Structure 1
């Protein structure tokens, strides 16, 4: 499948670039900024995008990509910090400027494939503290703002572009069209990324695994879709277990059980462990301690179930693409946001391999798959709820009256 690779230099919008590109059916993948040129070449991208980031290119410790990337005969687009990287690399000058944050009027100076059909001017979203003072030889200015004379530049010899603004955010008018121009008209990437295609490919891959699969289902959309995808592939070799910890919303436990039993032929088990959880939480007031206890008890219940109903070879999780990046798999400057693991601390003797069918997807893509698989609309609109449930919503000790 043809793809666009986004190098992550630490922007809060890096994932958004990928999401925007996927919205027009082209696969986009976020990788660490320091990925080797050799590794990137193996991925065979149709084009490369440098994300924004909080650094300054002239600082000694500024994140820089593998120099060899610039020798690739591939379209390249730099956004914000990525724009400054391109200016700096090709011989221009970047200087500290007055910080600019917010909407600016971008006026077009010359025709270009990147800004084709965008119009004479648009409102563009700025978020930067540096700017291009001098653009490199063989580059030309294709757009400017009042405070940035080189807000958009293009190389006249190669398909290399730099833009100081953020086309991926909704505050930039026609921003998605600018990304579309780059991906479809410059990179000429094929629109092959669809959720129907993903379901077909994933089901085929999972159908080839051997052994039984255990999947913890919470009633949330991620674990539900993961379970249904796996079930579509291997049928009753999948066992879904829902642990009722007594800390759910009113009637939620029954609603989850009814949803699975009335809508799907999944091998579904509800394990009522509410007394076990509530007895361990008795007298506990600190929310972090509550969270820890809930996690420990969940592991214990899950382990007992696996021992009783096993053997299982696989443990399925509803891990999403941002979860993997946030856990530090991406080594970009803003990568480690929080530790993400849907099920942690299971004993080694269970010897379970991890199966994560949704790990390439964003939340909105999971919702699309849920609709394809026939998940009730009510679940799709359910408000998210924390794993530890009411234990962290209740102030002080948990009592029956508070529940």
Structure 2
């Protein structure tokens, strides 16, 4: 069953993500697209019933006002404008905005409230099959929630046409490569290629301190590894990724500045040899988890804490060194063990340690020691767009601190980050 869709056209507004979620809350699917949709792109969108023109302060790009494409204007579909071309801004009152959206979606567009994960997955399977045909797909499988959901969806859509590639870039958490191989190769029966490229990545990253440059190096090197693996196979024409909507927003669009480039968005090379398959790119994190459950993935996999594509590379702040990276990996493992022991792994959305490239004086074995601090970050969120700080009981923090400073070589101090998002992002880099 195809789902009806309301397309939000990005004309410089800052509320596109919020409006998309509010439309979905009405039971109708909504996607955000650039203002310059072509007829071909529009025809590829199933079930479009109307457009929301979301204008705002970023409506002018490079001195030129944004406008809907001719394809959109010729569609003849109903339009709701807000803060664009003389239209009033969105009502500040939540109830008034909800009523405006309800009237537009159901009365003007005659949309049906058929947005649910079962229908979404069915639509995406059909779109993937239409896009891929009888060709083969290579999936960048990190083992995180997003790529795992994509793997399950693609296995259902194209089966043996899918090959999963898990790259150990040396920036994974302790024990993670072994877990990924076990779950996907042995439990789910996926075609899985394991590549240990630790030295290759760390050599490329040597001496690189700028976070954006690190992300782009990691992203570009990922693609090169996939290209090399694809050349060992025949018929690979598509690259699948677990890109989700917050990745796109934070990586910057024509109307929104970059917060940070995600390796699967801002780090892709211009000469990419594949066509991308990204079936969950319009979903928020909580929706990706719902899709995973609908696809039959185990709950412990679906609800595992998120892990960034660049991995520990964006938690080993500044230029990465192997000794500091190992200290980060060990401190993070201790944090996860203690959170599980205290039951916090069931209540905290994401938790990890960060080790910056700075040292402070301490005392070890009755002598001065100049070592790194480990910074704990623990946040709760629904959609990764905003986040609050979790209150960790003092006995748990004391236990974590005691273990890290006694068991991890090179760390003599533990701190706790109390900054919500905004102003801080979830990751430090």
1:314 to 201, 215, 238: 238
Give the equivalent residue in structure 2 for 1:21. Answer: 23
Give the Å deviation of 1:263.
4.0
Distance of 2:65 and 2:224 partners within structure 1? 46
Distance of 1:355 and 1:250 partners within structure 2? 29
Give the Å deviation of 1:285.
5.0
Give me the CA root mean square deviation.
4.2
CA gap of 1:212–1:281, structure 2 versus 1, over 3 A, is same
Query: What is the CA deviation profile of residues 330-380 of structure 1, one whole-angstrom value per residue up to 9, with x for unaligned ones?
Result: 75x4387776662734977xx533323234444433222111112232333
Query: Is residue 5–residue 31 contact of structure 2 (8 Å, CA) maintained in 1?
Result: yes
Larger RCO of the pair (alpha carbons < 8 Å, separation 6+): 1
> SS in structure 2 opposite 1:314?
strand
Alignment partner of 1:238 is 2:162 = yes
Give the equivalent residue in structure 1 for 2:287. Answer: 365
Query: What is the CA deviation profile of residues 248-270 of structure 1, one whole-angstrom value per residue up to 9, with x for unaligned ones?
Result: 12222223233324541211222
Give the equivalent residue in structure 2 for 1:85. Answer: 86
Query: What is the CA deviation profile of residues 225-245 of structure 1, one whole-angstrom value per residue up to 9, with x for unaligned ones?
Result: 222211112222211011112
Give the equivalent residue in structure 2 for 1:190. Answer: 112
2:202 to 258, 278, 288: 278
1:294 to 196, 218, 224: 218
Alignment partner of 1:49 is 2:56 = no
Where does 1:90-109 land on structure 2 (aligned, <5 Å)?
none
Give the Å deviation of 1:383.
3.1
Alignment partner of 1:165 is 2:91 = yes
Give the equivalent residue in structure 1 for 2:308. Answer: 386
Query: Is residue 391–residue 398 contact of structure 1 (8 Å, CA) maintained in 2?
Result: no
CA gap of 1:166–1:323, structure 2 versus 1, over 3 A, is farther
CA gap of 1:308–1:363, structure 2 versus 1, over 3 A, is same
Where does 1:170-249 land on structure 2 (aligned, <5 Å)?
172-173=94-95, 175-207=97-129, 209-249=133-173
Alignment partner of 1:352 is 2:274 = yes
Give the Å deviation of 1:72.
9.3
Structure 1: where are the runs of 5+ without partners? Answer: 87-161
CA gap of 1:74–1:391, structure 2 versus 1, over 3 A, is closer
CA gap of 1:305–1:61, structure 2 versus 1, over 3 A, is closer
Distance of 2:234 and 2:251 partners within structure 1? 29
- The two structures have a TM-score, normalised by structure 1, of 0.63
CA gap of 1:266–1:177, structure 2 versus 1, over 3 A, is farther
CA gap of 1:49–1:397, structure 2 versus 1, over 3 A, is closer
CA gap of 1:374–1:45, structure 2 versus 1, over 3 A, is closer
Query: Is residue 135–residue 237 contact of structure 2 (8 Å, CA) maintained in 1?
Result: yes
Distance of 1:289 and 1:52 partners within structure 2? 32
Where does 1:29-44 land on structure 2 (aligned, <5 Å)?
29-33=31-35
Distance of 2:89 and 2:314 partners within structure 1? 44
Distance of 2:230 and 2:40 partners within structure 1? 42
Give the Å deviation of 1:213.
1.6
CA gap of 1:270–1:165, structure 2 versus 1, over 3 A, is same
Where does 1:131-170 land on structure 2 (aligned, <5 Å)?
164-166=90-92
Structure 2: where are the runs of 5+ without partners? Answer: 330-429
Distance of 2:212 and 2:49 partners within structure 1? 46
Give the Å deviation of 1:30.
3.0
CA gap of 1:181–1:314, structure 2 versus 1, over 3 A, is same
Give the Å deviation of 1:62.
5.6
Distance of 2:237 and 2:192 partners within structure 1? 18
Give the count of matched residue pairs: 316
Query: Is residue 284–residue 398 contact of structure 1 (8 Å, CA) maintained in 2?
Result: no
Query: What is the CA deviation profile of residues 8-33 of structure 1, one whole-angstrom value per residue up to 9, with x for unaligned ones?
Result: 33122112212221232223333445
CA gap of 1:63–1:337, structure 2 versus 1, over 3 A, is farther
> SS in structure 2 opposite 1:51?
strand
Give the equivalent residue in structure 2 for 1:258. Answer: 182
Give the equivalent residue in structure 1 for 2:322. Answer: 399
